[in-house]
Structure 1
Amino acid sequence: MAENENTMNAPVSAAPKDDEISILEVCGILWGKKFFLLFCLILGAVVGVLAAYWIRPQYTSDALLQIDVSGSASAKALGDMGALLESSSPADAEIELIKSRMVLNDVVEQEKLCYSATPIGKMNRLLHREGRMDLDSLYIPEFARTEEWKAVVLSPDSFAVLDPEEKQVLRGEVRKLLVAPYAGDTLAIRVSLLRAEAGEEFALAQSSPLNVARALATGLEIAEKGKKTGILTMNFSHRYPDRAAAILNAVANAYFRQNVEMRSAEAEKTLAFLEEQLPAVKAKLDTSEKVLADYRFQVGSVDMTGETHALLEKETNLQKQLLELGAERQRLVRLFTEEHPNVQTIVAQQQRIQNELNRLKKNAEKMPKTQQEILRLQADLSVNNTVYLDMLNKIQQFRVVRAGAIGNVRIVDYAQVETKPSKPKKTMIVLGSVAGGFVLGVLIIFFLRALSPRGVRSSVELERETGEVVLAKIPRTFSRVLTNRRRSGEGNPILVLEDPDDPASENIRSLLTAVEFGMLSKTNNVIMVTGIDKGIGKSFISLNFAAAMANAGKKVLLIDADMRRGKLIRKRRKGLVEVLLGKESLDSMVTLYDNVENLYVLSTGILNVTASELLRGQAFANLVAEAREKYDVVLIDTPPVALATDAELMANLASLVLFVIKYNTHSMEEIQEMLKRLKRYLNGQIALVMNSCMRERGYGYGYYGGYGGGYSRYEKY
C-alpha cells in the first residue's frame, strides 16, 4: 500500500501563490534529493582534487623599483634650462614602458624565451614528478613549426629528437649544439639543462619573439605602492622558481638600461641642438656690437645721462627675467597643462614684466632720438650677450651630463628564488569545486523540476476553484517507525497507532473530528476514499483514517475495493471478489486487521473477471447494505478515478467521499475534471484531502502549525 506521504489540517488564513517558493520548501526539495546532492559534492571534491594536482605549481618572484617622479639631479642642477632635460613620467606611464616591446624584446632574447620544452606525461604531471629541460637554442624549419616535435630522454645526459611522424631526427648530449638536416632544411638544438628520467618526453616548440613578448607582458604584474610614491612592485610567475627570478631580474635590468640610454640620448640631442644654434647666437651678438659701433661712429660722441644708464640697466634686467621665465614655463608645461596653477603664475609674471618693459619704452620715447637709438642698440647688445653666455654655460653643463648620465630609475630589490609555490591554491580549488558541484546539483534539481508539470499547492485556491471544502492537509513524513516496519517486511504500518505524535497522525485525527461532527450522515455510515491517480497516498489515508476511528471506539470495516492494485493486504487472498460472486459470505471473508481492535478489513480477493462487471450488479450494493448494519463505519478504498470507472460506480453508495489530492502534483484543470466525473454519480457529500504537503512559510499544518520546531525530522518536500 501506501505511500507514507501525509499532510495537514485545513483552515489557513492566507495562501501563497502557486509560483511562490519558500526557503523551507527549497530545503525540503533539496533534502528529498540529498543522495543526488551528496553525489554532486563527492564528484566536485574529486574533480577539485584532480584539478588541484593537475595544475602545475607556479612560483612567483617579486622585484622593487623606484622611479624619481620629481626629475633627476642633473636636470635640477641645470636650473632654468632643466625643462630641456626633464623627462620623468607618472608611474602609469612607466609601467607601460616596462611592458613595451622595446624592453621585453631584449628579455626574450637574453632568456631564450622563444624556445620551450614542456613535459608531456599525464601521470607524472598529476603526481608532480615531471622532469625539466631548458633550451639554449632551437631551430625548427618554419614549415614544420606548427607540428608536434618531441624530445625523448635516453639517459641523464642524452636525448633524441623525434619529428611529427615519430621518427628520430637526431640524438646527442646535453650542452652541445646538435644539427641535423631535415626536409631540405636544418634542425638545430642545444639543451642547457636536463633533469628527467629515461623515457620521459617533452614537447618542443619555437615561438615568434612578438608572441612571446606579448605573453610576457600579460604575465607581468606591475603596480605602484601607494599613490604617487614612485615605488613599483613587479611580480612574475613561472613553473620553475629560478626562471621566475631570472626573467624578472632581466626585465628590471633591461628597463634600467633603456632608461639610462634614453636619458643619455636626450642629453646628447639637447647638446647637439645647442651647439648647432650657438653660431647663430654668436653671429647675432657680433651684429649687434657692429651696429652699435657704427651708429656711435656716425653720430659721434653722445653724452648719456645717469637716467639713460639706469633705464638701460633696468630694461636689460627685465629682458633677462623674461628669458628665465620663458624657460621655467617650458619646463612646467612638460609636467603639467597650461591650466595648472604654477604655469598660470609664470604667465602672470611674464605679463607683469612685459607691461613694465612697455612702460620703460614709453619713457624712452621722451628722450632725444639719438639717445633713444643708442639705448635700443645697447639693450639688444646686452640681451644677445646674456643669451650667448647662458648658452655657453648650458653647453658645458650638458657635456657633463652626457659624460655621467644616469636614469631616473633605481632597482631597490632584485627578485629572489622562491621555495614555496604561490599557485595553485589547492584548498581553495577543492572547496570551490565542492561548492560548484553543490550549485550544479541544485541547478539540475530545479531545472528538472521546472521541466516537470507544476500542480496545485494552495488549499485556498483549491476551495475557491472547486467549491469544495479542504478538510485536511496532511504533511509528508519519513517516520522512522514506518521505515523500520517496511524494511522488516511486517506489513503495512499504521502511523496513527505506531507513531501517534507524528504531525501526520495529528492531522488524520483532526480529519476524523471534522468528519464526525460535520460530514458523516446519521443514516448512512459509508465513506469512500478515492483520488485522481496512483501514488498519491490514498491507501495510506484510508488505513490510518480507519485505524483512528477504530481507536476512538468505533467498529470499522475497511473494504479494499481496488481489485486491480489493492495493497491493504500484502498477499492476495479470498475477499471482496468471492463475496460478490456469491462464493463466500461477508462474515467469513472479514478479518481483524493486524490485531487492531475494532478494525476489520475485507481484502480484494482473487480477481478473475472484470472488476467493473462485478460492481455494476446489485451484489456490491447488497454487500454495502449488509456491512452498514453490522459496523459503525464502512470505509471503501477505491481505485483512482483517472484509471478506472470503479469509483464512479461506487460513489452513489457513500454519504461522504474523501477525494485525495497530492500536493504540487495535479493541475487545477485535472482536479476539476475528475470531480465533475465523480459528481455525476454522487448522492452524498464530497470533501478534499491534500496529501504529502510541505510546511509553508507563514502558516502551519492546520492548528498544529505551531509545532514548527518539532518538524525538523520530516521532509518539507
Structure 2
Amino acid sequence: MSTDSKNLSNPVSKENNDDIDLMALLFAILRGWKIIVFFAVLGLIIGVLYSRYVNPTFKSDALIQIEENSKGVAALGADISELVGSEGSKAQAEAELIRSRMILEPVVSLLHLRIRLSDPNIGTLDRIKSDSTATQINKPEGVSLKTKDGEVEISQFNVSQEYLNQSFSLMRSETGFVLSNGFEDFKGEIGQPQQFRGTDGQIQITVNNLPADGYSINLTKQSLQMTTERLNSALSVVEKGKQTGIIQLSMTGDNQQQTSLILKQIVLSYIDQNQSRGSEETTKTISFMETQIPTLKKRLEDSEAIFNEFRKKYGTIDVAKEAELLLTESSQIELQLNELKLKKADLTTYYTEEHPLVIQINDQLAVLNARRQEIDNTIAGLPEIQREFLQLSADTTINREIYLTLLKNYEQLKIVKAGQIGFARIIDLPINTFNAIAPKKLQIIILAMLSGAMLGTMLVLLKNMLRNVVKDPERIEAKTGVPVVATIPRSPLLTRLRKDKKVPNRLLAYADSNSLSYEAIKSLRTSLMFGMTTPEQGGQRAKVILITGESPGVGKSFISANLTEVFAQLDKKVLIMDADMRLGELHKIFGMTQDNGLADYLSQDKLSQNMTDFAQNNAQVPEAITTQKISNLASFIHPTNIDNIDFMPRGEYPRNPASLLSDSRLNNLITELSSHYDYIIIDSPPILAASDAMILAQYANKVLMVTRYDNSIEGQLVYAVNQMNKANIEVDGIILNDVQQGIMSKYSYHYSYAYGNNQ
C-alpha cells in the first residue's frame, strides 16, 4: 500500500546542481522567443518613432591658423620692430579664448540669440508626422519662426532682470498683439516699438509680424549666461593634430544656414578681437608719439628763432676747425642722448626703473652726459660770441634731427597699424552642406531593435532564474526522489479546440487519437498495469489509482479522464470518481452534471447513520423510519456514453469536504465499489490547496502526481512531495503533463517518437 513509509525514497536534491547549464540557458532563450520578438518589435517601433520625432541635426566647420608671431611690423624694418614688441600664442589657449564670453557676447548681441521662440501648438504626433519641424531663424534684423498659420517676426525684445528666462505668450489680437506671462497682459501695436512697465520691471518689444488670430507663440528672453552655455554646448573648438597651430571649430544645430551663420560670426568676432589685441602695442606707441611731436616741434621752432635772431644781430661768424669738430661731436652726442631718452620713455611705459633694459640705457646716458660735459668745458674756452653761436647752432640742429626722426617713425607706425593682421588668420569659413549628421535613422532603428531584443532576452533569463519551472524529468527525479512515470506531450489539436469556449472539453480518443499525447497515455496505462499485479484479496479486485497535483491547473482531470478511457479499452470495468468536491470539473468532460455525486452520497449516508443511531436510543421513533435508506449507492453512480466507464461526480459543494472524507463511510464506499470494478480512478484536489488528497491516498494502490511542463514551480512540486512523505504516503510516480515538443525544448528527446495511424 502507499502508506508504507519504509520504502520512501530520500530526495537527492542536496546534490550540487549549481553548475551553469549553457544549453539549458540557450533553450530557455529559444522558448521565450515570443517575448524576445515582442520587445524587438517594440524597440523597432520606438526607434522608428524616435527617428521621426527628432529634428535633423546639421554641422558646420571652420579652420583658423594661429601663428607664433606677428610679421606686420618686422616687414617694415628692424628699427620699427624694436619699437613694437611681439607676443606668442598657443593654439590651446586660443581655443579656450574662443569659447569665452568676450568672443561670444558680440555674436549673441548681433544675432539676438537671447530671444527664444517656440510653437506650443506642435505636439508629439505632429513632429512624428512631419519628420521635422521649423526652427527659429536669428539674423541681425531680428528673430523669425514659421508656423502653419503664418510667420513670427520680432526685431527687439528686452526685459528687466526679473523677467529673464521667464516664458511669455504672444498672440495676435484685433488691434495688434497681446503679450502675457500668465499674470499680466500687455497690449501693443504690430510694427511699432512698444515699452511696457510691469510689476517686475520694464519690457521693450517690437513685433513685426504674427500668425493668425488665436495662434499662440511662446517667447523667452534668456540670460547671457544661459545663452553662452547653450552655444558652448553646440560648439567644439579643438586643435587639429599636435602642435599644428590649426584650430578646428565645429557647431551643430537644427538648421544648416543658421548654424553656419552663427559659427561664421564667432570666427569673425575672434579675428576682430585678435587683430585689436595684436595692434595694441602699436596704438600705444603712436599715442605716445602724438603727445611728443607738438612739444618737439615747438622746441625746434623756438631754437631756430633764437638762432636766427643771433645771426641777424652779429652776422655770420666763422668757427674754427676744432670748434666744428667739437660741435659735430656734441651734436652726435645730443642726438644719441635724445634717442636714448626716447627709447627710455617708451620702455618706462611697460617696465619700471629696475628693469635691466632701463638700467642699461641709464648707463649709456651717464657716459654720453660725461662726454658732453667734457666738450662743453672745452668750448667754454672759446670766445664768448663764438661759443654762443656754436651753442645756438647745435640746439637748432639737434631739435631738427629729433623732430624729423620722431615724425618719420610716427608715419611708419601708422602704416604698420593699417596693415597689421594679428597672429590668427581664417583658413576656412563655414559652408552649408545640408547633409544631416543626425539622427542616423538606420542605426537608430537597428540599435533600438537590438536593444529591445536584448531587453527581452534579459527578461526571459530573469524569469527563468526567478521562476524555476518544471522542465527536465531527470531534474525532477533528482529533486523529489520520485520517478517520472510518464511525459504527456501537448496535443496541438486539442489545444486549439479548447480556445473555443463554446466547444465542450473532449477526450483524446475523440479529438486527437493519433497524437503523441494519446500514445503517452496508453504508455502510462501499461506502466500502471505491470506496477499493480497484487493478487486479489477478500473479494476486492479493483485497483485504486489516485491522481493529484501540486497546484491547480496542472491537468490532473485531463489525465484522469483519458487514463480511464484507455483502461476501458481493455474491456475492464472502470469507475472514475471526482473527489474534488470544491472545484471538480470532470462532469464537463463527460457531458454530464455534477448532481448526485460523492458529496451528496457522503452527506446523506451520514444523515442516515445519525437517524439510525437516534432511533436506537429513542423507542418512540417508528421502526419504518429507522430502517429506511435515504438513498442507495446506485443513484450516485452514473453510466457514461463510453462502454465500461461509470462516473461519480463531485456532487453539491459541502461545507467541510475534509470532514466527510475523514469518516469511515468513505472506507465503506471504497470497499463496496471495489467489488464491482476493475479500476477506480480518483481525481483529487491539489495537495497544496487542500488536505483531501492525503486522506484519499490511504485507499489507493497507486498515488500519481501530475505537474505541468514549463508552468509548475519546481519548488512547489518538491514541497508537495515532501508533504505527502510527512504523512507517510509514498508518491509512486510523477506525470509530466503538457510537454511541448520541438527544437526549442531541450528535453524533447523523451517523446520524439510516436506510433500511430498517420493516414
Q: TM-score range by the shorter chain?
A: 0.5 to 0.7
The counterpart of 2:593, out of the listed 546, 568, 572, is 572
Number of matched residues?
582
Q: Are 1:474 and 1:691, in contact at CA under 8 Å, matched by a contact in 2?
A: yes
The counterpart of 2:259, out of the listed 241, 244, 254, is 244
SS in 2 for 1:527: strand
Q: Are 1:492 and 1:568, in contact at CA under 8 Å, matched by a contact in 2?
A: no
1:520 deviation in Å? 5.7
1:143 deviation in Å? 3.2
Within 2, Cα distance between the matches of 1:669 and 1:685?
A: 11
Say which is worse superposed, 658-667 or 42-51, in terms of deviation.
42-51
Within 2, Cα distance between the matches of 1:501 and 1:202?
A: 72
Within a 5 Å distance, the mapping from 1:251-270 to structure 2 comes to 251-265=266-280
Within 1, Cα distance between the matches of 2:16 and 2:696?
A: 34
Within 1, Cα distance between the matches of 2:745 and 2:457?
A: 26
SS in 2 for 1:189: strand
- Decide whether aligned partners of structure 1 residues 133 and 230 sit closer, same or farther in structure 2, where only a CA change above 3 A counts: farther
- Decide whether aligned partners of structure 1 residues 604 and 401 sit closer, same or farther in structure 2, where only a CA change above 3 A counts: same
5+ long unaligned stretches in structure 2: 1-10, 134-146, 289-341, 348-356, 375-408, 537-541, 606-630, 754-759
Q: Are 1:520 and 1:655, in contact at CA under 8 Å, matched by a contact in 2?
A: no
1:651 deviation in Å? 1.7
Say which is worse superposed, 629-638 or 415-424, in terms of deviation.
415-424
Structure 1 residue aligned with 2:172: 153
1:11 deviation in Å? 13
The counterpart of 1:28, out of the listed 27, 31, 35, is 31
The counterpart of 1:220, out of the listed 231, 235, 256, is 235
- Decide whether aligned partners of structure 1 residues 119 and 499 sit closer, same or farther in structure 2, where only a CA change above 3 A counts: same
The counterpart of 1:638, out of the listed 641, 659, 684, is 684
**Match status 1:471 vs 2:474:** no
Structure 2 residue aligned with 1:121: 121
SS in 2 for 1:173: coil
Within 2, Cα distance between the matches of 1:242 and 1:539?
A: 75
Structure 1 residue aligned with 2:58: 60
Q: Are 2:550 and 2:716, in contact at CA under 8 Å, matched by a contact in 1?
A: no
Structure 2 residue aligned with 1:701: 747
SS in 2 for 1:660: strand
Structure 2 residue aligned with 1:85: 86
SS in 2 for 1:196: coil
Structure 2 residue aligned with 1:197: 212
- Decide whether aligned partners of structure 1 residues 462 and 396 sit closer, same or farther in structure 2, where only a CA change above 3 A counts: farther
Within a 5 Å distance, the mapping from 1:230-309 to structure 2 comes to 230-265=245-280, 276-277=346-347, 284=363
Q: Are 2:576 and 2:645, in contact at CA under 8 Å, matched by a contact in 1?
A: yes
2:263 maps to a residue whose letter is L
TM-score (norm 1): 0.65
SS in 1 for 2:205: strand
Within 1, Cα distance between the matches of 2:560 and 2:343?
A: 111
- Decide whether aligned partners of structure 1 residues 180 and 232 sit closer, same or farther in structure 2, where only a CA change above 3 A counts: same
Q: Percent identity?
A: 24
**Match status 1:491 vs 2:540:** no
The counterpart of 1:188, out of the listed 185, 194, 204, is 204
Q: Provide Cα deviations, 1:524-555, integer angstroms capped at 9, x if missing partner.
A: 63221112332222212223334455567766
Structure 2 residue aligned with 1:325: none
1:179 deviation in Å? 2.1
Within 1, Cα distance between the matches of 2:358 and 2:418?
A: 23
2:259 maps to a residue whose letter is A
Which structure has more relative contact order (CA 8 Å, sep 6+)? It is 1
Say which is worse superposed, 508-517 or 632-641, in terms of deviation.
508-517
Structure 2 residue aligned with 1:583: 632
Structure 1 residue aligned with 2:337: none
Larger gyration radius, structure 1 or structure 2:
2
1:664 deviation in Å? 1.8
- Decide whether aligned partners of structure 1 residues 110 and 463 sit closer, same or farther in structure 2, where only a CA change above 3 A counts: same
Within 2, Cα distance between the matches of 1:520 and 1:699?
A: 36
- Decide whether aligned partners of structure 1 residues 402 and 602 sit closer, same or farther in structure 2, where only a CA change above 3 A counts: same
Q: Provide Cα deviations, 1:41-81, integer angstroms capped at 9, x if missing partner.
A: 787677667655655x3552413213145656559979999
Within 1, Cα distance between the matches of 2:200 and 2:749?
A: 93
Q: Provide Cα deviations, 1:188-240, integer angstroms capped at 9, x if missing partner.
A: 1124x646333222222222223322221122133455555555443334445
Within 2, Cα distance between the matches of 1:243 and 1:706?
A: 68
2:162 maps to a residue whose letter is F
Q: Provide Cα deviations, 1:444-475, integer angstroms capped at 9, x if missing partner.
A: 7888888x876676655654564433334556
Q: Are 2:48 and 2:441, in contact at CA under 8 Å, matched by a contact in 1?
A: yes
Q: Are 2:724 and 2:731, in contact at CA under 8 Å, matched by a contact in 1?
A: no
1:506 deviation in Å? 5.9
The counterpart of 1:542, out of the listed 560, 563, 580, is 560
Say which is worse superposed, 16-25 or 243-252, in terms of deviation.
16-25
SS in 2 for 1:667: helix
1:173 maps to a residue whose letter is I
Structure 2 residue aligned with 1:164: 182
Within 1, Cα distance between the matches of 2:254 and 2:745?
A: 59
1:108 deviation in Å? 1.2
2:203 maps to a residue whose letter is L
Within 2, Cα distance between the matches of 1:700 and 1:554?
A: 38
1:140 maps to a residue whose letter is V
SS in 2 for 1:133: strand
1:270 deviation in Å? 9.6
1:99 maps to a residue whose letter is R
Within 2, Cα distance between the matches of 1:434 and 1:503?
A: 38
- Decide whether aligned partners of structure 1 residues 672 and 587 sit closer, same or farther in structure 2, where only a CA change above 3 A counts: closer
Within 2, Cα distance between the matches of 1:204 and 1:85?
A: 48
Q: Considering only aligned residues, what root-mean-square deviation do their CA atoms show, in Å? A: 5.1
